[in-house]
Chains A and B, each alone.
Chain A
Amino acid sequence: MVELTPEEQEKAIAEAPKGTWAILLVYAVFMVLGWLYMFYGFFLPHGPVN
């Protein structure tokens, strides 16, 4: 753990959470691709439970 100066602490708090946005973007892309795969790749060729 690195000790930050008060100025660095203020900057860390004020900074936009870019990493969070990046994670959520990746997550959203995977969710949409996953859903599309299940619909077009599994459900349509497979149909109901058999």
Chain B
Amino acid sequence: MHAQVEASTLNMSTSESSKSTYTESVSGLCLANLWIAFITFALAAFMGLYQVAERSGLFPKIEFIELYYRSVSSHGVIMGFVLTTFFIMGFGYWISHTTLKIPLWGGKSLGWLGFLISLGGTAAAAVMLFMGEASVMYTFYPPLKANPIFYFGATFLVVGSWVWCLQMVMTMNAWKKLNVGAAVPLAMYAMTANAILWFITSLGVASEVLFQLIPWSMGWIDKIDVGLARTLFSWTLHAIVYFWLIPAYIAFYTLVPKAANGKLFSDEFSRISILMLLVFSVPIGMHHLYVDPFQDAGWKFVHMIGTFMVAIPTLITGFTVIASMEVAGRLRGGKGLFGWITALNWSNPMVLSGGLSLLMLTVGGWGGMVNASYSMDVAVHNTQWITGHFHLIFAGTTVIMYMSTAYYMWPSMTGRPLFSTKLALLQLWTWFIGMLVLTLPWHILGLLGQPRRIGVAPYSEEFTAAWGPYEFLMFVGGVILFFSAVIFVVNLLFSHFTAKAAIMPVMEYAEPMHPVLNIPKLLNGFGFWTAVIVVYMIASYGYPILQFFLMETNGTFPWSI
């Protein structure tokens, strides 16, 4: 039946569709990616619990500095690189399968090859992390040095994901050739933008690892240019946040309105927002280097302006998503300026997570405006404020949408209903509450001067006395989050054992309020925008990188080869 539905959508005869490999579900490939994401997520959540317990000072017997840094590095790498990359690949393959309904370019086997490359890299890096051979944080800034196997592992994780990028772009192009002039389904369009974003932004860290960190860790060179390494990592460091965030935006645009029984407010607006994120998010990474001495203030100012430009697509997204929810609420009988809010079906996990996610984006976005302000950053730089900010944006805003997206996709992938919707609602609420209880005290601790990333604070009692109540709250938040993470994984796991649905559930996406009849080419492709990014990147990163080849670098080879 599933194949017949897809064939009729494509106006293909059943015999034609039976010859086509697209009728082969990619659910196995998707589930493999998603389970790697969520198993490692559970592991990293446990590490997070250990870290808040250790930092709280409540349990002196578990305070081991070496173990703390091993844990922090593993937690960061898993959450930032492994959970995200595997989740996005799985989500991307499922979007491609359910929206385009054509064979995956290169076939499933190529997707499995990319998966195995990424998995092998992840395993190698994880062994080094757990052995304490790579306690270099998720940023792995030199002069912190890891075992070369860690760097090779990280490289393979990224290279495997490039296979996914290629498949997303080529499959979308193949669909456009079959459907000349038709608008690429929004979810696929945005996911392809994300694949292009990830490929471009990962080139920065790939260059650092291949040309600097691996030769240095292998002993082929004995000095490393730290300034160049940090500049290359900054190329990746901010746009990676949008690589994580765009899947959440896809859920905002295409899944939340559907779950709310409404429609998307504007398809075109959504595309403009995604394109603005794609163009503006890559060349702005130097706001992570505001207090670093090797880049001039002028370049940092340019990157600060670009950083604030990202607020525009964020506001467009906020408007489009809230307006979609308003329409859904009014269609359910909501009246008045805010009456539609209470009319929404908050007992739907996707709708609930959309609302909670936007609330966290609001608070996290405010904090981000403070960090991004060149002058004000020095008041919070490298303090626990920063940890609070990025946990709200990533672990809060983004990951809660990953969770609800998993709940939404699971039935269509497995053919079985979700084990428990009530458990899913409890899990989303506890994730939201836990995240606020964890991160708001972190913001205050940052303002009180607590450095981030430290296991112990060897400062005077007078200075640290005010931290106590907030550290206790941080621990409580961590416990709530760990509980939430466990029930998330348990709910998905048990969903594999529920009774098969009588009719195969179909993954549904929101329709726009006004159907897209004539789509401008600029809103339906990426050629022009990729060229704009290249020009923007050369303008904002060209000289800041080139300077390392021109100036004295204290005996290091500029590119370390």
A: residues with CB less than 8 A from B are: 1-4, 9, 12-13, 15, 17-20, 22-24, 27, 30-31, 34-35, 38-39, 42-43, 46-50
The answer to whether A35 and B337 touch (CB under 8 A), given A15-B330, A49-B383, is: no
Given contacts A2-B343, A19-B341, A42-B379, 6 further A-B contacts (CB under 8 A): A13-B513, A17-B322, A17-B326, A22-B337, A49-B378, A49-B382
Tell me whether B319 and A22 are in contact (CB under 8 A).
no
Name B301-316 residues within 8 Å CB distance of A.
315
Residues of B within 8 A of A27 (CB): 318, 362
Interface residues of B in 322-350 (CB under 8 A from A): 322-323, 326-327, 330-333, 336-338, 340-341, 343, 345
> Nearest CB to that of B330 among chain A residues?
A12
B376 at the interface (CB under 8 A from A): yes
Number of interface residues of B (CB under 8 A): 37
Contacts of B55 in A (CB 8 A): none
Q: Considering the complex, give the chain B residue whose CB is closest to the CB of A27.
A: B362
Residue B373 interfacial (CB < 8 Å): yes
In the bound complex, what is the Cα–Cα distance between A27 and B365 (angstroms)? 11
Q: Is the CB of B331 within 8 A of A4?
A: yes
Q: Is A24 in contact with B318, judged by CB distance below 8 angstroms?
A: yes
Question: Does B507 lie at the interface of the complex (its beta carbon under 8 Å from any beta carbon of A)?
Answer: no
Contact A49 B319 (CB under 8 A): no
The minimal Cβ–Cβ distance linking B534 to chain A, given in whole angstroms, is: 32
Flag if A38 contacts B376 (CB, 8 Å). Answer: yes
Cα–Cα distance between A12 and B325 once the two chains are bound (Å): 12
| Chain A residues closer than 8 Å to B315, beta-carbon distance | 24
Contact B365–A1 (Cβ < 8 Å): no
Q: In the complex, what's the smallest C-beta–C-beta distance from B398 to chain A, in angstroms?
A: 19
Inter-chain contact B365/A31, CB cutoff 8 Å = yes
| Chain B residues positioned under 8 Å from A24 (CB to CB) | 315, 318-319, 322
CA distance A31 to B368 in the complex (A): 11
- A49 pairs with B449, CB closer than 8 A: yes
A12-B327, A49-B379, A49-B381 given as contacts; is B373 within 8 A of A39 (CB)? yes
CA distance A17 to B329 in the complex (A): 11
Question: Can you identify 24 A-B contacts, CB atoms within 8 angstroms?
Answer: A1-B332, A1-B333, A1-B343, A2-B333, A3-B333, A12-B330, A13-B327, A13-B513, A17-B327, A19-B337, A19-B338, A20-B326, A24-B318, A31-B369, A34-B366, A35-B369, A38-B376, A42-B379, A43-B375, A47-B378, A48-B379, A49-B380, A49-B381, A49-B449
B470 to chain A: which residues have CB within 8 Å? none
Does B447 count as interface, using CB distance less than 8 angstroms? yes
B389 within 8 A of A: no
Q: How far is the CB of A38 from chain B (nearest CB, A)?
A: 5
- With A9-B331, A38-B370 known as contacts, the answer to whether A20 contacts B322 (CB < 8 A) is yes
Residues of A within 8 Å of B447, CB to CB, are: 42
* Distance, CA A50 to CA B30, complexed state (A): 48
Which residues of chain B have C-beta atoms less than 8 A from A2's C-beta?
Answer: 332-333, 343
Bound: A13/B264 CA distance, A: 11
**Chain A residues near B323 (CB-CB < 8 A):** 17, 20
Residue in A23, A35, A38, A49 whose Cβ sees the most chain B Cβ within 10 Å: A49
Q: How far is the CB of A22 from chain B (nearest CB, A)?
A: 6
Is B265 interfacial (CB-CB < 8 Å)?
yes
Residue contact B379 to A31, C-beta cutoff 8 Å: no
CB distance from B333 to the nearest CB of A (A): 3
When C-beta atoms are compared, the residue in chain B nearest to A38 turns out to be: B370
Cβ-defined contact, A19 with B340, below 8 A: yes
Is A22 touching B331 in the complex (CB atoms < 8 A)?
A: no
Query: Does A1 lie within 8 Å of B345, measured CB to CB?
Result: yes
The 8 closest A-B pairs by CB, nearest first: A2-B333, A12-B330, A17-B323, A48-B378, A20-B323, A20-B322, A17-B326, A43-B379
In the assembled complex, how far is the CB of residue B382 from the closest CB belonging to chain A, in whole angstroms? 7
CA distance A4 to B340 in the complex (A): 14
Q: How far is the CA of A22 from the CA of B338 in the complex (A)?
A: 9
Residues from chain A with Cβ under 8 Å of B341 in the complex: 19
Distance from A46 Cβ to chain B, minimum over Cβ atoms (Å): 6
